Amino acid sequence: MKHLVLVALLAGLCTAQYGQSLDDLPKIVDNSTVSPSIEKYVLPALPYEYEALEPHISAQIMRLHHKAHHQAYVDNLNKALVELKEVEGKEEMATKEKVEALEETIHFNRGGHINHSLFWKGLAPAGSPESILQGDLEKAIISKWGSADEFSTALFRTILGRVRGSGWGWVVCNVDTKELSFGTTRDQDPVSLPQLVILGIDMWEHAYYLQYYNNKQNYLKAVWAVLNWKEAGERYASCLKHSATSV
Ligand SMILES: [Fe+2]
């Protein structure tokens, strides 16, 4: 790790600062062990301490979730990308099965890296300035759902009804119609255009089981208390400003 040079790959007009695609996430150039040097994705630091979301989300969960689970997605993505490059460089090794297996591994871990990067930035300590719903996003939510309470009730119902097993619950904004809606994805599948992520909630058991056991409703209430509405509002502003061709 001694010769790591940080390079920020912030591409695109709209999604870059919000990390909604893999190209938006930072890489480092690792020239310490191989030649030529390779680029690797890195685990992003949390914008708060592991304890900062207590009592809603325990430090134990946050530490494990970030340092073990998210780190594993990053490591497995980097490993599979290197392996795919090696396989593609040697025709005799590039069997259809091998390439497909690596692409599947990349798809899964790429989603895990994108989804968790969005999730961390979408949370903030309860009672912090970031935790206040306001501005255009508040107006849009009240206009469509009537109140923040009705919005959360409908969001939780959608997530609990649709996510079976491991997956994610989302509030998304369509960059073409500017409409807000709910969505869910399986496993680590990410959200894709024309939808942009406004809020994401990790519904894998590793996100809640140590604290909430099988009570997903209580976990959702806990996440609701630590949502970063400032970040969500900025993502919504970005959605209002751009179209699918400009992100
Ligand atoms: Fe997770």
Separation of CA 135 and ligand 1 centre (Å) = 29
Separation of CA 207 and ligand 1 centre (Å) = 5
- What is the pLDDT, as a whole number, of residue 14? 45
Q: Which residues pair with residue 38 across a beta bridge?
A: 30
- What is the pLDDT, as a whole number, of residue 13? 39
Separation of CA 72 and ligand 1 centre (Å) = 11
Separation of CA 88 and ligand 1 centre (Å) = 31
Cβ neighbours around 89 below 10 Å, total: 9
- What is the pLDDT, as a whole number, of residue 37? 66
Averaged over 226-244, what is the pLDDT?
94
Separation of CA 153 and ligand 1 centre (Å) = 22
Does 5 score more than 50 pLDDT? no
Cβ neighbours around 55 below 10 Å, total: 11
For residues 33 and 40, give the distance between their C-alpha atoms in angstroms, rounded to a whole number: 12
Separation of CA 65 and ligand 1 centre (Å) = 6
Would you call the peptide bond into 194 cis, given omega within 30 degrees of 0 as the criterion? yes
Separation of CA 186 and ligand 1 centre (Å) = 12
Does 103 score more than 60 pLDDT? yes
Separation of CA 143 and ligand 1 centre (Å) = 31
pTM of the model: 0.89
Q: Which amino acid is at 39?
A: E
Separation of CA 44 and ligand 1 centre (Å) = 14
Separation of CA 202 and ligand 1 centre (Å) = 6
Q: By percentage, how much of the chain surpasses pLDDT 90?
A: 76
Separation of CA 132 and ligand 1 centre (Å) = 24
Separation of CA 60 and ligand 1 centre (Å) = 13
Does 106 score more than 80 pLDDT? yes
- What is the pLDDT, as a whole number, of residue 32? 66
- What is the pLDDT, as a whole number, of residue 36? 61
For residues 180 and 197, give the distance between their C-alpha atoms in angstroms, rounded to a whole number: 10
Which fold is adopted by the domain 129-246? minor pseudopilin epsh fold (3.55.40)
- What is the pLDDT, as a whole number, of residue 16? 54
Does 9 score more than 90 pLDDT? no
Separation of CA 36 and ligand 1 centre (Å) = 33
Tell me the pLDDT tens digit for each residue of 30-89: 766 555 667 899 999 999 999 999 999 999 999 999 999 999 999 999 999 999 988 887
Provide the token pair at 57.
């989300």
Provide the token pair at 43.
């685990």
- What is the pLDDT, as a whole number, of residue 22? 84
**Domains of the chain, residue spans:** 129-246
Separation of CA 204 and ligand 1 centre (Å) = 6
Least confident of 9-18, 52-61, 95-104: 9-18
- What is the pLDDT, as a whole number, of residue 1? 35
Q: Which residues pair with residue 27 across a beta bridge?
A: 7, 41
Would you call the peptide bond into 36 cis, given omega within 30 degrees of 0 as the criterion? yes
Separation of CA 120 and ligand 1 centre (Å) = 10
